[in-house]
Amino acid sequence: MDWTAPRHCAFMALCLLRTAAAAFCPIEINPERVVVKYGDPVSANCTVTRTTRGMGWEASVGSIDMQTGPQSLVWSVSNLTDWAVEPKCYANFDTEPKQCLKKLNILLYKYPDRVSISSVGHTGPMEEGRQYLLQCDVQSIAPVQYLSVNWYRGGALIHTETFTRNTTRTPVNVSPTLPITPNRTDDRVLYMCEAELRLGPEGLQANPVMKSEPLNITVLYEPVLKDPHVEHVLVKHGVEDEYLTCSASGNPAPRYEWKFPPGLPNDQQPQSEEGGTRLHLSPVFPGEYVCNATNSYGTASKTFVVSVEEVCLIARPLSVTTATSLPCPCLPCSAGIRPTPD
């Protein structure tokens, strides 16, 4: 029989009682957590709920030596610039716990000196379909653990990056990147990044934010027609002229070239207009007209199929001796319908 077991249990029970007693520390700090901007004033009040032999504050700045008599002490600093500060309020008692302390949870933060956005290893226009890397440089911000870098395209949030694993207290520089593959819809679109410190509920009503100047993206891309690639144009009988309009977007701006139906002289003079070209047909000549919009990245072609409304003869009632012309569709003249004499 193991006679040491009861003694062991009694010893453990005593240890647990002492641990529980030591765990209870009759010290309260208000507020328990403070968020303060670098260089601003800060204060916190320490109160004991039992009679003490003395109490004080341990801190690298603003420390207060042990004092007898008071039930509360205020720790304050008029200009907090110590990144390592960890204020602790302590008190001594006649009974257990003989001495205990509590630490003030303090978050010292600093706005970045500058936030800027750039394209890594590239300047000038970007080509559609190629990948590029944007970089957001955030200089001298703290604490980086609470930093979120937000990326915007045309004012819309597209990505957020955080640094929660970096527990460095002092100011650091960070340069997160964002890969993009621009297309024609990105041409002249503004990209921007911002540094946001998310300091928690004890922080400011609005999180501290600093934004970069916008980066204007220019994208080079092949011409894109603004209308369908094939357009059928039916010119009514008797109309003497017609206009064909061809327009495309592209960067660089496309140049236009027309190809005319066989048999039509190439002395037609297209007219330039904003974002396109217009061809004046006078007189109207049926056939296929092709408009080519070209820049250094490709060509887009549009075909106009021009036809003229045909006219044929149909018979009036038997009492009428003359025929009349009507636009097709009608019974074809080759069907043998002719004006009939009275």
- pLDDT tens for each residue of 44-78: 999 998 888 999 999 999 999 999 988 999 999 99
What per-residue confidence (pLDDT) applies to 10? Answer: 41
The CA distance from 272 to 33, in Å, is: 69
pLDDT at 55: 95
Distance of CA 194 to the CA centre of its chain: 10
∠ CA 50-51-55, nearest 5°, is 95
Q: What is the pLDDT of residues 167-185, one digit of tens each?
A: 999 999 999 999 999 999 9
Q: Which of 50-59, 210-219, 227-236, 322-331 has the lowest mean pLDDT?
A: 322-331
User: Which tens digits make up the pLDDT trace of 313-326?
Assistant: 555 554 444 444 44
Q: Per-residue pLDDT averaged across 187-191, rounded?
A: 96
Q: What is the pLDDT of residues 100-113, one digit of tens each?
A: 999 999 999 999 99
Q: What is the model's pLDDT at position 3? A: 42
pLDDT confidence of 244, banded at 50, 70, 90? very high
β-pair partners for 326: 312
118, 215 contact by CB (below 8 A): yes
What tokens were used for 181? Answer: 């593959």
Residue 331, pLDDT > 90, answer no
In degrees and rounded to multiples of 5, residue 20 shows phi and psi of: -65, -40
Which pLDDT does position 326 carry in this prediction? 46
Give the range among 7-11, 116-120, 190-194 with minimum mean pLDDT.
7-11
Report the mean per-residue pLDDT for the chain. Answer: 85
Residue range 118-125: average pLDDT?
95
Output the pLDDT for position 269. 84
pLDDT band at 9 (very low <50, low <70, confident <90, very high): very low
Alpha helices in 37-173 (DSSP H): none
Greater pLDDT, 178 or 332:
178
CA-to-CA distance for 145 and 201, rounded, in angstroms? Answer: 16
Listing DSSP states for 223-264 in one string gives EEESS-SEEEEEEPTT---EEEEEEEEEESPPEEEEE--TTS
Strand partners, 192: 152
Residue 137's pLDDT is 98
Of residues 206 and 243, more confidence is placed in: 243
User: Is the predicted pLDDT of residue 31 greater than 50, yes or no?
Assistant: yes
Once rounded to an integer, what is the mean pLDDT over residues 72-90? Answer: 96
Cα 206 to Cα 29, 140, 161, 201, 202, distances in angstroms: 25, 21, 19, 10, 11
Average pLDDT value for residue range 254-271 = 86
Q: Contact at 8 Å (CB) between 172 and 216?
A: no
pLDDT at 233 over 90: yes
Quick one: tokens of 254?
A: 């496309």
pTM for this model (two decimals)? 0.74
Torsion 25-31-37-43 (CA) sign? negative
